Amino acid sequence: MISDIIILIMEWIGTISFAVSGSLVAIRCSLDLFGVATVGCITAVGGGVIRDVLLGNTPPKIFFNPLIFCVAVVTSVLVFIITDIHRRNFKKLSESIDVINIFFDALGLAAFSITGVEIACRSSYENNALLAITLGVITGVGGGILRDVLVNEKPYVLTKHIYAVVSIVGCCFYYLVGFRAGLEVFATFFVIIFTVLIRILAAKLHWRLPKIDLNEEQ
């Protein structure tokens, strides 16, 4: 079944991508090895855990698939070791590292958004578009929100670079084109390319949703 393959591939891509992204954020916040591994893992699996709880799938699926958990841990530790080896160049390469972080974060966002919609539809909610799309977005952004809370930062999803909006558009497209129209492979590639491209452009061109700054003088 094509959706089984898509879910498996997206889970692996999302897990590795978010583990890298979460680890880099944790390293910037000067967390130790355990802290980096913890934040990396939570970023990688947090959205899926929230989704499973909302679907009533408890204990969450991650606890029955230790391989995914181990991949998140190993990825986080590897990022820590590589950064430690190149720590002198870390600040010099800050801009390049930001681009890498954005790329992996966007890749994880796309992969988990797709996974969330697929799992919701396969859980007998295929006719509930609002629920399927909402769970897709939660799967995509949930881990990042937990990451930011752990490192004591304002959740990225609520403040910068139209983050959640990209996930919402991607989930809507995948639900309508991938699931309803049956073009899963096309929809998967489109959502990944769209999400990564828009996230990078948003970061580079400083695209943001309107907000009110009460400290700004009229």
* pLDDT, greater one: 19 or 93: 19
Domains of the chain, residue spans: 2-85+93-205
* pLDDT, greater one: 99 or 56: 56
Task: Read off the pLDDT band of 31 (50, 70, 90).
Answer: very high
Alpha-carbon distance 46 to 37, whole Å?
13
pLDDT in tens, 126-183: 899 999 999 999 999 999 899 999 999 888 787 766 888 999 999 999 999 988 888 8
In b/e form, how buried is each residue of 131-151, taking b as 16+ CB within 10 angstroms?
A: bbbbbbbbbbbbbbbbbbebe
Residue 90 has pLDDT above 80, yes or no: no
C-alpha distances in Å from residue 101, one per residue of 113, 172, 178: 18, 25, 28
Instruction: Give pLDDT, residue 8.
Output: 82
Instruction: Give pLDDT, residue 103.
Output: 87
Instruction: Give pLDDT, residue 217.
Output: 60
pTM for this model (two decimals): 0.87
* pLDDT, greater one: 17 or 159: 17
In this structure, the chain runs to a length of 218
Average pLDDT, the chain: 87
